[in-house]
Amino acid sequence: MDNLNLPSSLLLIWEVKRTIEKNLSLQQGLQKFSQRMTHNQTSNDEFAKNFMQWWQIRQKTQVSELSHFNAQHRAVITLLENGLRGQSIYEPLKALEADFVEMCDADIQEHAAKLPLLLQIPLIFLVFPAICILLLVPTLCQLAF
């Protein structure tokens, strides 16, 4: 499961949700996620980079800038900001998780819809000419004799 290419925003939601369910603080969940992203240097996800910057600034100044996040990611960060201020975020977090899972499912369906067309390209350019050669060469050899 670790090598799945899930969006880091969904991983953050899951980490925070799991932390809250274990009756740990939101701060601990965010710290754990940031450590995971630090150790996982292969992630070139824009959200992960922006989150790490936001988290470092947030730890120092308690003021954050959300302009470099897109709308969905801004919703996640705003929810986390509310949680860090002491508001209950578990129910909105579950709703946000459902939205993100739905977006991932839609993305998967979109990619799966393109697969048949993409798989026809090697068939047309590689397999079909090879079959034609296999069928025509014996015929041409018989005609030559």
Whether pLDDT at 144 is above 80: no
Q: What pLDDT score does 65 carry? A: 74
Q: How confident is the model at residue 2 (pLDDT cuts 50, 70, 90)?
A: very low
Mean pLDDT for the chain overall: 87
Is the pLDDT reported for residue 6 higher than 90? no
d(CA 20, CA 80): 12
Whether 130 is in a domain gets the answer: no
DSSP output for 79-145: HHHHHHTT---HHHHHHHHHHHHHHHHHHHHHHHHHHHHHHHHHIIIIIHHHHHHHHHHHHHHHHH-
Asked whether residue 42 is domain-assigned, the answer is yes
pLDDT at 142: 87
**CA–CA separation, 46 and 69 (whole Å):** 9
pLDDT digits (tens, 9 = 90+) for 19-76: 999 999 999 999 999 888 888 765 567 888 888 888 888 888 877 677 778 888 888 9
C-alpha dihedral over 111, 34, 22, 86, to 10 degrees? -110
Q: Is residue 133 part of a domain?
A: no
* pLDDT recorded at residue 1: 33
- Does some domain include residue 103? yes
This prediction's pTM: 0.74
Residue 145 has pLDDT above 80, yes or no: no
State the chain's maximal CA–CA distance in angstroms.
90
**pLDDT given for residue 42 in this prediction:** 54
Provide the domain limits for residue 106.
8-116
Residue 124 lies in a domain: no
Number of separate domains in the chain? 1
